[in-house]
Structure 1
Amino acid sequence: MVTVCASVVIMSEHTIDQYNVGQLVSGESLAGRTLFVAAVHGEAERLPKDVPLLITGIGTLPAAISLTTVLARAQAQGALPARVVNVGTAGALRDGMAGVYEVNRVTKHDFHLDDHSGIAQYLLPDAIAIETSGRLPTAGLATGDQFVGDSETRERLAKESSLCDMEGYAVAAACALFGVPVTLLKQISDSADEVAEEAWAQAVPKGARQLFNALGELGLLEE
């Protein structure tokens, strides 16, 4: 049920489900387990059916809301997961990249605010460093609420990062809040240029296979 008053839209707690946000595919306790997180089902379709899987929806806000909700509930039950693993696709900001990368540093590229006196204390960090396994190639990730699909934006982001996505920073920030270790695995789906959107849609099935293989290589499917 949605109630509209002037320009304000008030949603009931069930309305959000219509947008496929925050779907936790597991009824079991998360205690000591690995919680897998993906934006859309296609990115995680190769995962075993019995693993805890959270489908957040696309973008930083759905990712932050849904993962924070799940972790808060788990914390209240004394059942936080041992690790969160975010599997997903990413655009390559530099030429010659392919396959799956483990993210070692993530930034949020579409939030800009000058650090005036007294403001910094209200901001999340510009970058979050993430410990990696050393078994896969690593890359920096730029997260933002836009699908990067133009060469100008690609070149700008490439000055600091190698990959771009729409959820990674939010996942890392939520995990940092709860003290849960996090792994971000990103498969190259497109080149973040003018043909990126079409390429992404075609690349998701292949990406799911490559991500599954990477999880096996890292031993993250063994519990």
Structure 2
Amino acid sequence: MKRADVLVVSATKAEAAHVPPEFEVLVTGIGKVSAAVAVASALATYGSGRLPLVVDIGTVGALHAHHTGLFTPSRVLNHDLSAAAIRALGHDVDDAIELPDGDGSVLATGDVFISDAAVRDLLAQRADLVDMEGYAVAYASAHMGAECRLVKHVSDQADDSALDWPARIDASARELGDWLRRTL
């Protein structure tokens, strides 16, 4: 029987390959738009009932060499949005979300696949980790009124090692599945 109190979200089937069977899994597809639409659509099916805890699992690139293993970010940034320029034009924009129960790390989310060390180093001035869906999942969850946690496992160093991502997914998926078993 599936647990109705948790919705596990993953960008790819491979990242969710080791999710325990009692959890419902939503595979969103890669990128912010796909993730936001899938999460909002899934949460809308709950109607006026109690919304589940949304747990976004997946791989991330480390923006600092000392970051390895599993993280539960406390803050997530929309890093490829020109927030400063939009604010300068007189408009407010949400480009950061605080998350409860995090470990203090900061995740940067964008639609750019980071595989260049120079780009990574610039982004490392604002964040610890980088992915392509976390902000969108957190934003859609908040918009729909659902609590959200991000659980991310480092698969690469957000440099040319990121190009080996497909070969590293399963090891990360096992760690993420173990976290779900132990924690929820």
Write the distance in 2 (CA, Å) between the matches of 1:29 and 1:184. 18
Who wins on radius of gyration, i.e. which is larger?
1
Residue of structure 2 equivalent to 1:194: 160
Correspondence list, 1:132-143, <5 A: 132=101, 137-143=103-109
Residue of structure 2 equivalent to 1:207: 172
Deviation at residue 195 of structure 1 after TM alignment: 2.4
Write the distance in 1 (CA, Å) between the matches of 2:174 and 2:40. 28
- 1:143-189 deviation per Cα after TM superposition (whole angstroms, max 9, x unaligned): 00011000111001100100000000000001111221111000000
User: Which one-letter code corresponds to 1:66 in the other structure?
Assistant: A
Write the distance in 1 (CA, Å) between the matches of 2:107 and 2:12. 19
Write the distance in 1 (CA, Å) between the matches of 2:166 and 2:21. 23
> What stretches of structure 1 move > 6 A for 4+ residues in a row?
none
Contact 1:29 1:79 in 2 (8 A): no
- 1:21-52 deviation per Cα after TM superposition (whole angstroms, max 9, x unaligned): xxxxx9x794xx10000000111111123421
- 2:139 aligns to what SS in structure 1? helix
Write the distance in 1 (CA, Å) between the matches of 2:10 and 2:50. 18
User: Which one-letter code corresponds to 1:68 in the other structure?
Assistant: A
Contact 1:105 1:139 in 2 (8 A): yes
Deviation at residue 79 of structure 1 after TM alignment: 2.8
Write the distance in 2 (CA, Å) between the matches of 1:99 and 1:29. 27
Deviation at residue 212 of structure 1 after TM alignment: 1.5
Distance change in 2, residues 1:29/1:112 (3 Å): same
- Runs (5+) with no aligned partner, structure 1: 1-25
Contact 2:99 2:148 in 1 (8 A): yes
Residue of structure 1 equivalent to 2:37: 65
1:49 aligned onto 2:21: yes
Work out the number of aligned pairs and report it: 182
TM-score (norm 2): 0.92
Write the distance in 2 (CA, Å) between the matches of 1:201 and 1:141. 21
Deviation at residue 193 of structure 1 after TM alignment: 0.4
The higher-RCO structure (CA 8 Å, 6+ apart) is 2
Distance change in 2, residues 1:117/1:106 (3 Å): same
Write the distance in 2 (CA, Å) between the matches of 1:139 and 1:217. 21
Residue of structure 2 equivalent to 1:95: 65
The sequence identity of aligned pairs, in percent, is 36
User: Which one-letter code corresponds to 1:212 in the other structure?
Assistant: G
TM-score (norm 1): 0.77
- Runs (5+) with no aligned partner, structure 2: none
